[in-house]
Amino acid sequence: MDTKALLKKVRKIEIKTRRLSDHVFGGEYHSTFKGRGMTFSEVRQYQFGDDVRSIDWNVTARYNEPFVKVFEEERELTMMLLVDISESTAFGTSSTFKKNIITEIAATLAFSATQNNDKIGLMLFSDQIELYIPPKKGRTHVLRIIRELIEFKPENKTTNLSKAFKFLIDMMKKKAIVFVMSDFLTDEYEHTLKILGNKHDVTGIRIYDEKETEMPNLGMVQMQDAETGEALWVNTGSASTRKKYKNYYHDRVSYFERAFKLSGSGYLSSRVDENYVIKLLGYFKSR
């Protein structure tokens, strides 16, 4: 993609997702994800209705009239976006690809964090850590994140969520808000997710396409695994073959939900043709 086309695409995503974060998610994000606590702000004269427990007795004694300590929420947080860029996210049969929806959601969350002056970082992963951008503030930084989400070409095609979680556990020492965006068509990450969930506020966002949930009856078809590249002939006319695939897919979904629930983390699923705005708002409100 040439520079002009890339900038045009970045701008298009910015306009759409910034509008969502400004008018829809700003307040919900702020109320859902609290700061680390209360920090001292100032001392002022006592007013009727103030909590007597907040009286500063030293200042009160000095001026011979009541003064109270004023505290404010320590708002600054760090958001980390963990984005799966393995080959399976390039799948799509309806209006768009899974990776396009993931990009929009990531951009919306990033602009929501920017409204609250929070830091945003990005990790792109496959079965390796493809790119890590340390958390920073500001619109320019968010635009860089969007550019990478659009343009970055991974070196590997398969997925290893556990490796991504281990990297973040080692990298992030302070508590962060972590959004993991993937189709979660893998397993063996439950243990590492539990460690990550003990340290950070984690949410898994599963993006999927309706057509990948079941195998259609198309007779004998040659299929290729998007991640491994393995090609084989499959008799989709076989009811038992279609049932095995359906069971395999639903096992992955069940594993995803169970792993996030047991780790104390939040999770939601959204089809590529669904309104992810409604899904995210519902999730924020439920918290």
Local confidence band at 182 (pLDDT 50, 70, 90 cut-offs): very high
Please compute the mean of the pLDDT values over residues 236-256 and round it to a whole number. Answer: 90
Name the residue type at position 158.
Answer: T
Instruction: Express each pLDDT in 77-94 by its tens digit.
Output: 899 999 999 999 988 776
User: pTM value?
Assistant: 0.81
Architecture of domain 3-32+76-286: 3-Layer(aba) Sandwich (3.40)
Local confidence band at 47 (pLDDT 50, 70, 90 cut-offs): confident
pLDDT higher at 148 or 231: 148
The residue ranges of every structural domain in the chain are 3-32+76-286, 37-74
The neighbour count for residue 20, using CB atoms within 10 Å, is 21
**CA contacts within 13 A on the Cβ side of 52:** 0
Q: Residue 12 pLDDT > 60, yes or no?
A: yes
* Percent of the chain residues topping a pLDDT of 70: 90
Contact criterion met (CB below 8 Å) for 192 and 178: no
Instruction: Express each pLDDT in 108-134 by its tens digit.
Output: 999 888 888 889 999 999 999 999 999
What CA–CA distance (Å, rounded) separates 108 from 110?
Answer: 5
What CA–CA distance (Å, rounded) separates 103 from 105?
Answer: 6
